[in-house]
Every structure is written in C-alpha cells, then in structure tokens.
Amino acid sequence: AQSVTQLDSHVSVSEGTPVLLRCNYSSSYSPSLFWYVQHPNKGLQLLLKYTSAATLVKGINGFEAEFKKSETSFHLTKPSAHMSDAAEYFCVVSDPPSGTYKYIFGTGTRLKVLA
Amino acid sequence: GAVVSQHPSWVICKSGTSVKIECRSLDFQATTMFWYRQFPKQSLMLMATSNEGSKATYEQGVEKDKFLINHASLTLSTLTVTSAHPEDSSFYICSARELTRGRDTQYFGPGTRLTVL
C-alpha cells in the first residue's frame, strides 16, 4: 500500500530564510506526488506535482520539490519565506494501483513564519 | 485553471435534519469526484469516491446510508448528510479529477463547514 509521511508537524522559520518541509513516501510503483497548501478556513491549492518527468519540480509562489527515488523523498523547499507562506502543507501520493487514483494525504505540516 | 465550487460554504442545522452539499466542476468535466472530511487541525480523510452514473465507493468505516452521494452529471456531485448529529460537525471538502489536456490532477473545492446543533 502506498503512504506518505510528513516528518514534521510544525516548522517555524524567520521571514526571508529558507523553508524545508519534509516528506517521505512508500510505494511499490512509480508514484505521482503532490504538495498542496491550505490557508486557514480555505480550500486546498496545488503547489506542484511530480509525475515521472523531471525530478526537480517547480511550483507556484517560488516553491519547488525534488523527487529522490533512492531516498524515497519529495521534500518541499523555498529559498526565502514570506509571511503569506504561513499555512498548512500536505504531501500527497496518488494511488493508481487501486484503479481509482485516490489521494493519500500526509498528516500535514504547519508552517509558521516569524517576522 | 480548473475551478471547483462547493455550496454552501457553511451550514448550521439542528440535530436530526439532513443537509445537502453540492460540488461542481466549473470549467471541466469530471467523471470522478471525491469527498473528504477534515477535523480541526487534522489531515483530510477520504470518505468516498463518486463516479458519474454509478454508485459511489465508500472507504472503510464510512456509513453509506448516512452519507449519501449522487453524481448525476459530469459537473455535479452531491453529498447528503442524513439525520445529522453533532458528531457529524466537520469540514467537508470535495475534489474533482481532471483528465483532459494530458493532466490527471484533483482540484479541490473551498470546503463546507457543517455545524450540527
């Protein structure tokens, strides 16, 4: 069965410093991996998506993630945090073997950006 | 980009009543939609997969008679919470799967906050 593990439930960074949100996946297949962001009381917004093309994926708002098969990781990074980046971030793996392509969510990482 | 709407955005109802939540894909057709439930400060839990023209597939532990799902068209799925009770209070989020233009991605609605008194 496929799964994702978000290693940190909370991350705090100062504005202008780099952001690293960690995600490890477990999959017997070539996975599709996603990062979504959820601002308070809002829906989920797709940040970026990996689907077996380039291993370094660039997303919106300056975020990017690198797929590392050897480490089964898909960490999300941003060179310089902005106050507006404060939100909940979810790493997601798609489950194509089930035939439904349903998403399996990680437990989420709450990013706090300090002024 | 692909847009998914939900209506209502929030609803308060009395215990024992039923509530219907609509999920619409506004600019694409979605043969598959998904319904999630999110408790405060927790992750999303998939409740069911809704396929146009067929019965929904429910995840283990989800009562299909309590959470009725109908996917009558390629742009609309509905979730009806029947005989709602306070423990059904939650944030319900739908998503629609887009397969067109070479993409296979779920786009999420803004969510519906249900409070049962």
Separation between Cα atoms, residue A10 and residue A89, nearest integer Å = 10
Mean pLDDT of all residues in B44-56: 90
pLDDT of residue A97: 55
Strands B76-81, B19-25: pairing is antiparallel
pLDDT per residue over B60-111, tens digit each? Answer: 999 999 999 999 899 999 999 999 999 999 999 999 988 776 567 888 999 9
Q: Residues with Cβ < 8 Å from A94, sequence gap 6 or more? A: A2, A31, A32, A33, A34, A101, A102, A103, A104, B104
Could A90 and B43 be called an inter-chain contact, meaning their C-beta atoms sit closer than 8 Å? yes
Could A43 and B108 be called an inter-chain contact, meaning their C-beta atoms sit closer than 8 Å? yes
Q: Is B97 helix (H, G, I), strand (E, B) or coil?
A: strand
**B106 contacts B95 by C-beta, under 8 angstroms:** yes
Q: What letter represents residue B98's amino acid?
A: E
Task: List the 47-76 stretch of A: residues with Cβ below 8 A of B.
Answer: 49, 51
Contacts of A35 in chain B (CB under 8 A): none
B112 pLDDT above the threshold of 60: yes
B35 pLDDT above the threshold of 90: yes
pLDDT of residue A51: 80
Q: Is the dihedral of CA B70, B24, A90, A4 positive or negative?
A: positive
State which residues of chain A have pLDDT below 70: 96-100
pLDDT of residue B47: 95
Task: List the 2-61 stretch of B: residues with Cβ below 8 A of A.
Answer: 4, 6, 32, 34, 42-46, 49, 57
Mean pLDDT of all residues in B31-60: 90
Mean pLDDT of all residues in B8-25: 96
- Cβ burial of A78 (10 Å; 0-12, 13-18, 19+) is buried
Q: Please, which pLDDT band fits residue B18 given cuts at 50, 70 and 90?
A: very high
DSSP secondary structure string, A79-92? SS--GGG-EEEEEE
B17 pLDDT above the threshold of 90: yes
Q: Residues with Cβ < 8 Å from A74, sequence gap 6 or more? A: A23, A24, A25, A33, A35, A50, A65, A66, A67, A68, A91
Among residues A30, A29, A45, A22, the alpha carbon closest in space to that of A91 is found at A22
Q: Please, which pLDDT band fits residue B7 given cuts at 50, 70 and 90?
A: very high
- Residue A45 CA, chain-centre distance (Å), reads 11
